[in-house]
Amino acid sequence: MLEETAADTANSLIALQLNKPVNKIFAEREINGQRIAAGKKPLDFGKLPTLTDEEYETARVALGKQPLWVYDHFGSLECDKLMQKLEYMANGIHCDVIYLDHLSIVVSGMESNDERKDIDILMTKLETFTKRTSVRLEVVCHLTKPQGSKPFEEGGQISLRDLRGSGGLYQMSDSVLGYERNQQDLDENAANTMMVRSLKNRKFGNTGLVGALRFEHTTGRLVNVPWSRDKDGKINLATS
């Protein structure tokens, strides 16, 4: 995760163990602690679960015993340096799955002024790496700004051409998933739910909507949500 610190990544993983939004709980403590010290009224963060120091430390120690490696890096990263790190992860510490979040920040560290060419070069190297090592590489990619259609943050439908930068992103990928959510929806359930769309599946060929995931504020988790279409094609989401 090149846009967050290793500590933030660790807290996100600890949150999954505890089913509690750790980063949000810590933010509430810090902000309201400062407000109380300044004689101000605490802010309402909603009903958050309790988290003791002992509970957090136990989860942190347990996470440290997992077969998990986090690259301690923040900001842009040169392509060649990234490939060296990936090689070490695959062959030095024998990682089976690697998550790279996100591709655009890697390209920003390259010296060329041609983003499309840079992405094509990087994707070729990544594809060669995965085929040679059999590592499963999950890459996060940003989207372009839609031209004359509904914005993606308002539920616009994603297609392969919306991947930012180059056709090499989807041409060299085995599968591509798009996540759509109308964060401005007046219905809270819909605003917190994103639809998962299969844009490419090289092995099986399945495309289209494949699921729905709702963010639970009290746990910090994404949970699977049953969904259906009515006769007019409108998507209906389960509320619980």
The CA-to-CA distance between both ends of the chain, in Å, stands at 31
Question: Which pLDDT belongs to residue 108?
Answer: 65
Question: Which pLDDT belongs to residue 111?
Answer: 60
For the ranges 23-27, 61-65, 184-188, 231-235, the lowest mean pLDDT is seen at 231-235
Q: What is the C-alpha separation between 189 and 230, in angstroms, rounded?
A: 18
Give the pLDDT mean for 139-150. 80
Q: How does residue 138 score in pLDDT terms, banded at 50, 70 and 90?
A: very high
102 prior amide bond cis, ω within 30:
yes
For the ranges 48-52, 73-77, 125-129, the lowest mean pLDDT is seen at 73-77
88 phi-psi bin (left φ>0, alpha ψ -120 to 50, beta other): alpha
For the ranges 83-97, 100-114, 195-209, the lowest mean pLDDT is seen at 100-114
Q: Which residues have CB under 8 Å from 51's CB, separation 6+?
A: 18, 20, 22, 25
Give the type of residue at 166: S
Given a cut of 90, whether residue 48 has pLDDT beyond it is no
Give the pLDDT mean for 89-114. 80
CA 73 to each of CA 25, 77, 78, 81: distance values in angstroms, whole numbers, following the listed order: 24, 9, 12, 12
Half-sphere exposure of residue 31, counting CA atoms within 13 Å on the CB side?
11
- Give the 3-state secondary structure of residue 179: strand
Give the pLDDT mean for 100-119. 73
Q: How does residue 153 score in pLDDT terms, banded at 50, 70 and 90?
A: confident
Which H or E run contains 55? helix 53-64
8 A C-beta contact, residue 214 and residue 238: no
Q: How does residue 75 score in pLDDT terms, banded at 50, 70 and 90?
A: low
Give the type of residue at 223: V
- Give the 3-state secondary structure of residue 192: coil
- Give the 3-state secondary structure of residue 22: helix
Q: How does residue 232 score in pLDDT terms, banded at 50, 70 and 90?
A: confident
Give the pLDDT mean for 4-28. 90
Q: Which tokens hold the place of 108?
A: 């920003």
Question: Which pLDDT belongs to residue 142?
Answer: 84
Tens digits of per-residue pLDDT, 168-224? 778 888 899 999 999 988 988 889 999 999 999 988 888 999 999 999 888 888 999
8 A C-beta contact, residue 227 and residue 236: yes
Question: Which pLDDT belongs to residue 148?
Answer: 67
